[in-house]
Structure 1
C-alpha cells in the first residue's frame, strides 16, 4: 500500500473514530435532554393530578365544615332557608361553585349560589339517590344542567339520625381545566357523552394519557379527563438540532476528505522519507535509537527548510524519548529503598549466568537474610526498619566486587551472584560481609544487626529454582544453627 493510501486510511480511521464519538455524544445528549423533557412532563402531569385531587379534597372539606356546624343542622331541621343560604354562600369560591342543602325527600332547601331559588325536586338525581343510599357520593353528575364534580353526604343529627343531604359541586368548564394546567406546558381535556372541553385552543392533545381519578359511577356516561402536551414544538426543536448537527458533521467530513486528498498529493513527496521512518517505528522495524539516526540522516539530505525543521524536531524528540526509556528501564530494575537490583532484574541476571555456565563458566550465589528483622519492625517501627535495610545494603555493596551482582530478593532477604567464584571463595566473601555488618554501629538503631547467609555453587544442568533452593536450604541451616553465620550446601 502506498504511503499516500496509508496516511489517508489511518487519518480517516482516526477521524471516523473521533466523529463517531462526537455523534455518540450528541446522541447521548439528545437522549439525556429527551429524558429530562419526559421527566418534566411527568412532573407536570403529577402536578395536574395533585391539583385535581386537591379540588376533590376541597369539596369534601367544605361539606364537612358545614356538616359539623350546629347552626346548619338546626337550619335543616327547621327548614330555615335564610340561615342555610347565609352559611353556604360564605364557602362559595373557585373550589366550590354550588352548595345545596337537600331534605330526605330530595327537595332542595337552600342554594348557596341563589338566595331565592329553593324547593326544586332533586330526588331523581343520581348523586342524591347514591348519597341517600350509601351515605356519600363523589363523582360527576349534572347539577342545573351543568356537568359538575360533586361531593354529596348525608347529614345526621348527633351523628345518628339522618336529617338531610349536603352537596358541594364544582362546574366542569374551561376555567376549571385552565386552572389545572396553569403554569405548565400541558393541556387537559374533558370528554363525556354530552360535551368535550379543552383547556387551551389546540385541536388535540399530544402523547395523551388519562388522568387517574377515583370517582363513583354516575348518570353522566363516558366521563373522563385526559392530559397531554399542548405543543410538541420543544421536542421538535430538539430533534431538529440533532439532525442538523449530524448533517453538519457529514458535510464537514466530506470536505475534510477532499482537502486532505489534495494536500497529500501536493506535499507528500517532501515528507515521504520522514513518514516512512515513523511508519517503520510504528510497525516495530526500528527502535527509538535507530529512529534518531535515520531522521538525522534524512534531515541532512533534505533541502526544504520545513522538512529540516521537522526532522530536527523529531530527532531531538527521539533522543529525549530514548533517554527517558533508558531511565525508566533503570528505574524498573532498581529497588527504590536500597538502590540495589530488584528481584525481576536478579532473575534476568541469574538466567544469563546459567546460560554462560553452559559454555564453561561457573558462579556461586549467596542467599542473605537479616536476623530477627521482624522484631526490629515490631519494636522500633517501620521507619527504623527501613533505615536498617538501607544501611545494611550499603555495607554489603562495600563488601563485594565490581563484577558481583547484589540485589534485594524481597523483604529483608538479599541475593548475591558471584561470577567465576567457587564455594570456598563465596564463603570468604560471605564471612567478610557478615563481619562488616555485625560490627557496624547504626545511627538510629542501638542494637547489633547480624546476617545469616547460605551459599550454593553452580552444578551442571542447574535451573534457577534448583540453585536457589540449595542456597535457601543452606540459609535455613544457618538460621537453625543459631543465626549470625555462613552455611554452604552439602
Structure 2
C-alpha cells in the first residue's frame, strides 16, 4: 500500500517517510469503506482481518474526531487528530492519533501515528484514571460493607429464635460448651437456669396459638432486658428456656431467677384471664461436670420446682 500512495500521491510524503514503517496505513473507497490496511493497523485494533471487511471509517474512529475532516474539500493532504473508538482499539493509555488524509483518484488514504501527549496531558489522564480507580475502590468498599452486614445478618438469623429473638438451641449448645471450658480454665463460677412456662398448653388450648405466641415473645423480651453481656438467654424448646449466667455463683443465680419469676407473674395480656407463672431450676458448674451432666442437673432442678407446685425456683 505504501508504494501505491507514494506513486499516486503528488504531495510531500518526505514529511514523514523517515518513520513511515511505524505508521498505520488505511485505504478507503469513495464511500469511506475500508479497502486495505497494513499490519500496524491490525496490531492496533482488536479486530481480525475478516472482521475489518466492509467496516467504514465511522466504525473505527469516534464521530466527534471525524467531524474535523472535510472530505469534500480535500485538495491536498489534510492533517487532523483522530480518536479510535474505545471498543475497537487494543487497551492503551491514549487513543488519539496524528492523521494525514490524502484524496486520490481511486479513493482516500490515511496515514496515522499515535499522538505523543504533552506532560500536562499525561498528568491529566493519569489523574482522571486515578479518580476513576478511587471511585471504583470506594464503590467496591461500600459493596463489601453491605456484603459483610448481610453475612452478619444471616449468621444472626441462623442462631436466633424468630419468635422470641433469643438464641436458639444450636447456638445455646455451642456457647454453653465454650463457657464451661472457660469457667474451668479460669476457675470461674458458672450457673445455669432452666425454666418452663407453667401450663402453657392450656394457654394455647383456651386462648389460641396467637395468644401463646404473645406470651412467648413477651417472656423473650423480658429475658433480653434482664440478661447481662456475656450471659446468654435461649429458647431451647416450645416453652422451655435456659439462661447461662457467666461468672455467677449459685446464690446470686437464685436471686436472679427469683427476680425473673416475680416479673413474669406481673405480666398482663389482653384476653388472657389466667395469670402467667414460671418454674425455674438452677445449678452451678461442678469440677467433674461436662455439658451433658450440667444440663441434666439443671433439668432435675426444674422438675423439682414443678413437683413442688410450680411458680417457684429450686436448685440442685
TM-score normalized by the length of structure 1: 0.37
Instruction: State which of 330, 335, 345 in structure 1 corresponds to 2:161.
Output: 335
Structure number with greater Rg is 1
Find the residue that maps to 2:236 and give its secondary structure. Answer: strand
The answer to whether residue 205 in structure 2 is matched with residue 378 in structure 1 is yes
**By how many angstroms is 1:332 displaced?**
2.2
C-alpha distance in 2, partners of 1:477/1:304?
72
The equivalences for 1:26-425 within 5 A come to 304-359=130-185, 360-425=187-252
2:270 to 440, 443, 457: 443
CA spacing shift, 1:304–1:435, aligned 2, 3 Å: closer
| SS of residue paired to 1:437 | helix
Structure 1 SS opposite 2:268: coil
Larger deviation, residues 466-475 vs 431-440: 431-440
Taking a change above 3 Å as real, the CA distance of residues 302 and 418 of structure 1, as seen in their structure-2 partners, is: farther
From 454, 467, 470, give the equivalent of 2:294: 467
- In structure 1, the residue matched to 2:111 is none
In the aligned structure 1, how far is the partner of 2:222 from the partner of 2:137?
A: 49
Q: CA deviation at 1:381?
A: 0.8
- Taking the aligned partners of 2:191 and 2:128, their CA distance within structure 1 comes to 56
* Counterparts of 2:230 and 2:147, CA distance in 1: 30
- 1:429 is paired with a residue of what secondary structure? helix
Pairwise CA distance, 1:310: 3.5
Alpha-carbon distance in 2 for matches of 1:435, 1:377: 22
The structure in which a higher percent of residues are helix is 1
Cα distance change on mapping 1:302 and 1:423 into 2, 3 Å: farther
Structure with bigger RCO (C-alpha 8 Å, 6+ apart):
2
Would the alpha carbon gap of residues 448 and 311 (structure 1) be closer, same or farther in structure 2, given more than 3 Å must change?
Answer: same
Deviation at 1:312, TM superposition (A): 3.0
Distance 1:408 1:308, change over 3 A: same
Q: Deviations over 1:276-307 (max 9, x none)?
A: xxxxxxxxxxxxxxxxxxxxxxxxx9955554
Q: What is the distance in 1 between the residues matched to 2:227 and 2:274? A: 24
Q: For the residues of structure 2 that align with 1:398 and 1:311, how far apart are their CA atoms?
A: 41
Partner Cα separation in structure 2 for residue 458 and residue 372 of structure 1:
29
**TM-score of the pair, normalised by structure 2:** 0.56
